[in-house]
Amino acid sequence: MSSSPHAPLPDALAFVGGGNMARSLIGALVNGGMPGSRIAVAEPNEALRRQLVDDFGVNAFAEGVDAVRMADIVLLAVKPQVMRTVCVGLAGVLAARRPLIISIAAGLRIAQIDRWLGGGFPIVRCMPNTPALIGAGATGMIANGKVDAVARAQAQAILGSSGLSVWIEREELMDAVTGVSGSGPAYFFLLIEALEDAGVAQGLPRGTARALAIQTCLGAARMASEDGEPPARLRERVTSPNGTTAAALDAFAKGGLRELVARAVDAATARGAEMSRELD
């Protein structure tokens, strides 16, 4: 993890794509004091454009070239499958200004995006996750050599507006970020499902089991975040010898929970690398 100096947000920020992730970032920025008038959004869906204008006062356009024309920073928030087409379409209008490019597309390498844009751009590649939609996201970030300290700080301010943001040192580690945090929320949703079903199997009403499972995961995450102790130490503190928690953890160990988690993260990491090759 690395840090960057404080930097003001740009005078003109453009989002290409106005879906859920872009909306969450725009909302966080506006709530943090950035005027919506300094934000342009390209979104082909008319209803989404209208909603963004009504909610945040942004300037919305149907075409990407119109949104990015005067931007100091361009945030690419489109699906990986259409990124190449979008970048090629923007290349001409971006060639003169060469703004900072921020990509939140899973699997796509900096070199790919730079090539599709025509080359020579400062680019920050990010991997956020869906809790960014409620201001509790976790984002991994990597910059190419053309991104200076001010631009790094601006990128971190934008992504950090919706949660935690951390820098990684090698781009190949972004696939591991995807495996741990990018895909990670689904792992915890699955755990909540499993706890709920297990509680029902023990006789609890489903609503009660679900509420207890959700609050338990929330409370454990807050303790891990706020206590300052390593997770292993927190686990030891709540595990009495020969007690109920020890019995449950013994069952997890015998079932190979750690090995299963390692295989799951490995599968997600490998898939991230495959997506890059497929989309090239």
- For residue 256, pLDDT beyond 80: yes
What's the burial of 7, exposed, middle or buried (CB within 10 Å: 0-12/13-18/19+)?
A: middle
pLDDT for position 10: 84
pLDDT for position 179: 94
pLDDT tens digits, 85-141:
999 999 999 998 899 999 999 889 999 999 999 999 999 999 999 898 888 999 999
Q: Where in the chain is the domain with CATH 1.10.3730.10?
A: 184-276
pLDDT for position 7: 60
- For residue 4, pLDDT beyond 70: no
pLDDT for position 274: 87
- For residue 3, pLDDT beyond 70: no
- Which distant-in-sequence residues (6+ apart) come within 8 Å of 26 by Cβ? 15, 36, 39, 41, 52, 56, 58
Confidence of residue 6 (pLDDT cuts 50, 70, 90): low
Q: Where in the chain is the domain with CATH 3.40.50.720?
A: 13-174
Sheet holding 137-143, edge to edge: 59-61, 39-42, 13-16, 73-76, 100-103, 123-127, 137-143, 163-167
Task: Give the residues across from 141 on adjacent strands.
Answer: 126, 167
pLDDT for position 145: 96
pLDDT for position 2: 41
Spell out the CATH class of 13-174. alpha beta
- For residue 1, pLDDT beyond 60: no
Q: For residue 146, what are its two tokens?
A: 């053309």
What percent of the chain lies above the pLDDT cut of 90?
Answer: 85
Q: Which fold has domain 184-276?
A: ProC C-terminal domain-like fold (1.10.3730)
pLDDT for position 272: 84
**Average pLDDT of 17-35?**
91
Is residue 55 a contact partner of residue 82, using CB atoms and an 8 Å limit?
Answer: no
**Average pLDDT of 1-25?**
78
pLDDT, the chain, mean: 93
pLDDT tens digits, 191-206:
999 999 999 999 999 9
Model-level pTM?
0.87
- For residue 5, pLDDT beyond 50: no
Nearest to 105 by CA among 257, 275, 277: 275
pLDDT for position 250: 97
pLDDT tens digits, 207-251:
999 999 999 999 999 999 999 999 999 999 999 999 999 999 999
What's the residue count for the chain?
Answer: 280
Is residue 147 a contact partner of residue 124, using CB atoms and an 8 Å limit?
Answer: yes
pLDDT for position 254: 97
- For residue 8, pLDDT beyond 80: no
